[in-house]
Amino acid sequence: MRADLIELLGELEEFGAANDAATDDRSRKMLNITHDTGMFLTMLIKAGKCKNVLEVGTSNGYSTLWLAEAVGEGGSVTTVEQAPGKVAMAERNFQRAGLQPRIRQITDDAGRFIESCGAGEYDFVFLDSDRGQYAGWWPSLQRILANGCLMVVDNAVSHAHQLETFTRLVEASDGYLSCVFPIGKGEMVVLKDIP
């Protein structure tokens, strides 16, 4: 990883922590992933040679930078965020990192966007958004994730209670394997393993 990108990620980590400590308003928090989660996502994407990634929940773009660096040249990250202020902040961070050519920003309701995606369109999906909606998105998520590929869900330990319905749906779905890894705030990794 480039030294200037490592420096920018460190700066965003400090900003996110200070920002979130200074407000009780959830909409103003960055709620970024942890550094070790960024490393974990990077390793999964590189090992899987993933080139078409979907991220739901851009925030200020911290996690998107990890994903965009991981997909490498020729790869693409589509990231969905509804809050205009965060979209603008993320765009500035993408420009600073020089990774904007690999990133497609979508300002829309995530559920509506996911429904519009094609079958098997993504070889990696990262969910870090409104956990209460994941269960409703599950049919569309199954359709858009390519076979043999992974979906990772953040906050699987820190907010396990909010993911109970979704977790039960995944576990009851034929052709899917899942496991929670105690990294960062807990990462649920789901493999689409349909013969």
Per-residue pLDDT tens for 109-120? 999 999 999 999
Boundaries of every domain in the chain = 3-192
Average pLDDT over residues 75-100: 95
How crowded is the C-beta side of 120, counted as CA atoms within 13 Å?
5
**How much of the chain exceeds pLDDT 70, in percent?**
100
Quick check: 96 pLDDT over 80?
Answer: yes
96, 36, 24, 26: which is closest to 61 by C-alpha?
96
**Which tens digits make up the pLDDT trace of 162-195?**
999 999 999 999 999 999 999 999 999 999 998 7
Model-level pTM?
Answer: 0.94
**Model pLDDT, residue 8:** 84
Q: Give the CATH fold of the 3-192 domain.
A: Rossmann fold (3.40.50)
DSSP 3-state of 149:
strand
Strand partners, 103: 77
**Model pLDDT, residue 172:** 97
**Model pLDDT, residue 27:** 80
What pLDDT band is residue 30 in, cutting at 50, 70 and 90?
A: confident
Quick check: 29 pLDDT over 90?
Answer: no
